[in-house]
Structure 1
Amino acid sequence: MGLKIYNTLSGKLEEFVPINPPEVKIYTCGVTVYDDSHVGHGRSLIVFDVFRRYLMHLGYKVKFVRNFTDVDDKIINRAKSECTDFMTIANRYIASYYRDMEAIGVKPADVEPRVTEHIKEIIELISKLIEKGYAYESGGDVYFSVSAFPEYGKLSKRNPEELEAGARVEPSEKKRNPLDFALWKSAKAGEPAWDSPWGPGRPGWHTECVAMIFKHLGETIDIHAGGLDLVFPHHENEIAQAEACTGKPFARYWMHNGLVTVGGQKMSKSLGNYITLREVYSKYHPDVLRLLVLFTHYRSPLDFSWEKMEETKKAYERLRDAVLDLELLKNFPTVEASGAPHPLFEKVKEAEEKFFEELSEDFNTPASLAQIFNLVSELNKIKKSAFERKAITTQELSAYQYAVDSILKHVKGIFGILEDIKPECQKVQKVETEQEKPFVDERLISLLVDVRDRARKIKQYELADYIREELKKLNVILEDTPAGTKWKVQR
């Protein structure tokens, strides 16, 4: 089954053919570390975390690089406002970033370079561009000459002449052309600076990623990814520098995820309408956010709201309960059944086939998730029937087990969801959040449930009710069923 992805560069859906299979080199633009990460960052991180997992599932050997911009105007301004140095700010929010990524299940990249560790490579890149006639020094600054690169605008499909008509030049800038962009910025008083052939200064934003890609992945990579808001000018400027320097294609495929909006407006720190990842996972299981992201096609806009989080939470609980209730059904009286295998076996095979078909058609996660939730509906039918009969057939139980194994294999391995459920015993490892800290272990809960069951048997209902209510205060919800009492933590 071939994988097709939408290539922003061509504007078409294309068959994915790596440069050197089975190796796949991917670079994703990371965060500028001057504040906590928000849901807009989280969407891109989750999308390409899952895409990377899928490539690995298909047998590719993925080298995945995601950077940190750890010197920037915003970082410097934050440091000034706190009367500290820029590296203190950068280190603080890199630590915050790692905390958030671990919480939402995003795997670390294979290489996570920092701009300040690549000043040498950035200076070498700029020097080559000057030597080749694509860049020029002006009063300690260095600019890329857009007019020297005829293909400028090919990624964003923008005409340089139209762009130039609308461009503005600040009085402090020394450009020859309004579209020219900074590769090196001369030092200002009180700001971090490094020595260079053009005097002390620091890199321009658009140059940093190119230098890091060249060092860690080479001159041509398979996939360059990032948010839609980076297409212009950031990624357009990356292409111009890289291809001017090498004369080779920079990236074979460009993938861009849609923006996260709030009430139709882009979520951003400058607008003040952002919600941090920490706030989200302090209120919801991190899997709920992953589901919310994956329920929308990666190229479409995603309008975030707490109402949508509540809706997604219900879907998540249906999925989780369908998996965990396998253990409950194993305790039901079983009835031997003869005849053909349960039809769910065939439905699982069909769902698996469609699951991969959808993922391979421009990474259509909502359509592939629909196959998973179709299986959840089938499991709920078996569960409902078993509760009505207070028994389950051996065919039903084996089919339920087969479907659960399939669901866990795919949602855990590819989507990174339900990773706290162990397939061998279906027991849950509790996920700690800001609001919910571990309060008791599972053995203690099981003991209290057993004491309550004994109290009910000898008609000490007051004690039984007391245990139920006290556990509820600790977010442990009890449910009495024909097969005994089951419990779960209410998120």
Structure 2
Amino acid sequence: MKDLWLYNSLSGRKELFKPVREGKVSIYTCGLTVQDYTHIGHARMDIIWDVFKNILRRLGYEVYHVQNFTDINEKIAEKALELKEDPLAYAQRYIDAYFSDIEGLEVKGADVYCKASDNIEAIQDVITKLIDKGHAYASQGNVYFRVESDPHYGSLSGRKTEEMQSGARIAVQDNKENPADFALWTVAQPGEPIWDSPWGPGTPGWHIECTAMSCKYLGDLYDLHGGGLDILFPHHENELAQGRCACSSDYVNYWIHHGMINLPDGEKMSKSLDNFFRVKDLLEQVPGYVLRFFVLSAHYRSPIVFTKEVVEQSQASLARLVNTHRRLRGVDSAKKNGDDVEELLNQSNQQFWQDLLDDFNTAGAIGRIFELSRKLNALLDQNKIDFVGAQKAITRLADWFDILGLKSAFVVQDEEETLPAELAELIEKRNQARKNRDWATADSLRDQLEEAGIILKDTAQGVTWQRKK
């Protein structure tokens, strides 16, 4: 298999990917806390991991992906209490909405979706193991992780326990040994679901859920753990500490964190700030593949600024690539003796994969697509691509778009390829007028077509058309 280099947040550098089990890749990603609809910031993770898995499968790996839903949470309980609903039923409503959203984004999804509420036994088993090993303790109906028992605590975030103890982030509680200790099990708050436990009735903490479920479904050591930079601390730091102490010394080999989608003023998009754009609303305005293209046009570790204008730019950029595909499809089957494009396509494919193998650099890969598109358009303008060459280029572009999950942009094109008979007749009349050098009639017909939403482009190979965006 080709070498794949990944940026590991744990080491702070790119590392050569080596799976735990040869030929197989195990992945756990932290999914939604289902208190509201999915927003575009959440969708970034779904989109990038959909593509990452496509890349891994193309490399020959068998991929197994687990993603959780946090359906036990104080905010969920508070909102459900306000609406006089069962909190788990309230959460399920947004889980169902999530699946509708990712379908619209053409995300294939995980192999396993697991809810915290369905895995209480596994969670309690890990807590018991941590207590037995001296890494956790019960106090007044709560159970806390003993941070000082893990000498490697802080290795992911770079934070030191001493700094956390003296900082204002952590409130001192009488029932804790150390203010830095965090909850594994808590006495339930009003409205929260309650389960019996050896430490009294209560509910699990946030961090323990992911450790327990990842170990349950993927084993004590697995390959890749994904999530946003915003939860690297405390969530992933605490999750790693629990996994290191309860499951295995390494727990996860590679921590992959994606950047945030921000607003123009630099503020992070989040539910807590009520400044987010819901996926379901965006899908009413643009196709899902446009949102995919918007997300993939930036490196996954980089922040993205979200505005409707940027999305419109993404749609226009994608339309340029689709138009190249349309022009290639328009090359006459009788056309022969064009330039050999084989070397150009092979070189472009090599560069495309160099980017993908360098820390899943989809932004660089998309740049390669535009480079090839410009070169192909130049050859088309000079009438230097024959039918065989055009078909080879179409196959290469389709392959790349399949990897990126953008192939439906071509499908939409196919659906739009057939013009109404009256518009096709106008194009034919204009072609005839141009042959007769009747420029006034040709211009008039062009204007009529543009009013009907059809843009014409005269090339050396003839006339091509596209729908006005």
Query: Counterpart of 1:71?
Result: 72
Q: Give the C-alpha shift of residue 298 in structure 1.
A: 1.2
Query: Counterpart of 1:354?
Result: 351
Query: Counterpart of 1:274?
Result: 276
Matching residue's letter, 1:280: L
Change (3 A) 1:165 1:314: same
Deviations 1:411-463, CA, capped at 9 Å, x for gaps:
21x110123535xxx96257xxxxxxxxxxx87x54454565688899999xx
Query: Counterpart of 2:315?
Result: 313
Q: Give the C-alpha shift of residue 329 in structure 1.
A: 2.6
Query: Counterpart of 1:408?
Result: 398
Query: Counterpart of 2:437?
Result: none
Query: Counterpart of 1:185?
Result: 186
- Counterpart mapping for 1:53-452 below 5 A: 53-168=54-169, 170=171, 174-263=175-264, 264-330=266-332, 334=334, 336-337=336-337, 342-386=339-383, 395-412=385-402, 414-419=403-408, 421=410, 428-429=414-415, 445-450=419-424
Change (3 A) 1:344 1:457: closer
Change (3 A) 1:372 1:457: closer
CA contact (8 A) 2:78 2:191 kept: no
SS of the residue corresponding to residue 226 of structure 2 reads strand
Provide the C-alpha distance between the structure 2 equivalents of 1:420 and 1:317, rounded to a whole number of angstroms: 8
Provide the C-alpha distance between the structure 2 equivalents of 1:275 and 1:24, rounded to a whole number of angstroms: 33
Provide the C-alpha distance between the structure 2 equivalents of 1:489 and 1:127, rounded to a whole number of angstroms: 63
CA contact (8 A) 1:52 1:62 kept: yes
CA contact (8 A) 1:76 1:86 kept: yes
Q: Give the C-alpha shift of residue 94 in structure 1.
A: 0.9
Query: Counterpart of 1:21?
Result: 22
Deviations 1:114-159, CA, capped at 9 Å, x for gaps:
1111011111111111111111111111111111111110011111
SS of the residue corresponding to residue 296 of structure 1 reads coil
Change (3 A) 1:186 1:335: closer
Provide the C-alpha distance between the structure 2 equivalents of 1:270 and 1:32, rounded to a whole number of angstroms: 12
Provide the TM-score with structure 2 as the length reference. Answer: 0.90
Provide the C-alpha distance between the structure 1 equivalents of 2:132 and 2:119, rounded to a whole number of angstroms: 20
Matching residue's letter, 2:271: K
Deviations 1:212-267, CA, capped at 9 Å, x for gaps:
11111001011111111111100110111111113421101111111111121111
SS of the residue corresponding to residue 113 of structure 2 reads coil
Cα RMSD over matched residues? 2.8
SS of the residue corresponding to residue 223 of structure 2 reads strand
Provide the C-alpha distance between the structure 2 equivalents of 1:23 and 1:311, rounded to a whole number of angstroms: 38
Q: Give the C-alpha shift of residue 397 in structure 1.
A: 3.0
Provide the C-alpha distance between the structure 2 equivalents of 1:335 and 1:455, rounded to a whole number of angstroms: 24
Change (3 A) 1:172 1:165: closer
Matching residue's letter, 2:16: E
Matching residue's letter, 2:193: P
Q: Give the C-alpha shift of residue 107 in structure 1.
A: 1.1
Provide the C-alpha distance between the structure 2 equivalents of 1:364 and 1:469, rounded to a whole number of angstroms: 39
Provide the C-alpha distance between the structure 2 equivalents of 1:447 and 1:109, rounded to a whole number of angstroms: 45
Provide the C-alpha distance between the structure 1 equivalents of 2:106 and 2:364, rounded to a whole number of angstroms: 22
Q: Percent identity?
A: 39
Give unmatched runs, 5+ long, in structure 1.
387-392, 431-441
Q: Give the C-alpha shift of residue 185 in structure 1.
A: 1.3
CA contact (8 A) 1:449 1:485 kept: no
CA contact (8 A) 2:23 2:61 kept: yes
Change (3 A) 1:81 1:479: farther
Q: Give the C-alpha shift of residue 5 in structure 1.
A: 0.6
SS of the residue corresponding to residue 31 of structure 2 reads strand
Deviations 1:170-221, CA, capped at 9 Å, x for gaps:
5777322111111111123432111111121111000001111111100101
Provide the C-alpha distance between the structure 2 equivalents of 1:247 and 1:58, rounded to a whole number of angstroms: 28
SS of the residue corresponding to residue 117 of structure 2 reads helix
Q: Give the C-alpha shift of residue 54 in structure 1.
A: 0.3
CA contact (8 A) 2:153 2:161 kept: yes
Change (3 A) 1:85 1:469: farther
Deviations 1:82-131, CA, capped at 9 Å, x for gaps:
22221232121111111110111111100011111101111111111111
Change (3 A) 1:371 1:484: closer
Change (3 A) 1:375 1:213: same
Change (3 A) 1:466 1:384: closer
Provide the C-alpha distance between the structure 1 equivalents of 2:405 and 2:245, rounded to a whole number of angstroms: 39
Deviations 1:331-389, CA, capped at 9 Å, x for gaps:
7xx5543xxx6253211110101111111111121212111111111221133234xxx
Provide the C-alpha distance between the structure 2 equivalents of 1:72 and 1:490, rounded to a whole number of angstroms: 47
Matching residue's letter, 1:375: L
SS of the residue corresponding to residue 53 of structure 1 reads helix
CA contact (8 A) 1:295 1:369 kept: yes
Provide the C-alpha distance between the structure 2 equivalents of 1:39 and 1:32, rounded to a whole number of angstroms: 14
Change (3 A) 1:427 1:318: closer
Change (3 A) 1:448 1:117: farther
Range 109-118 or range 69-78, more displaced: 69-78
Range 78-87 or range 228-237, more displaced: 78-87
Provide the C-alpha distance between the structure 1 equivalents of 2:467 and 2:277, rounded to a whole number of angstroms: 25
SS of the residue corresponding to residue 349 of structure 1 reads helix
Provide the C-alpha distance between the structure 2 equivalents of 1:458 and 1:319, rounded to a whole number of angstroms: 29
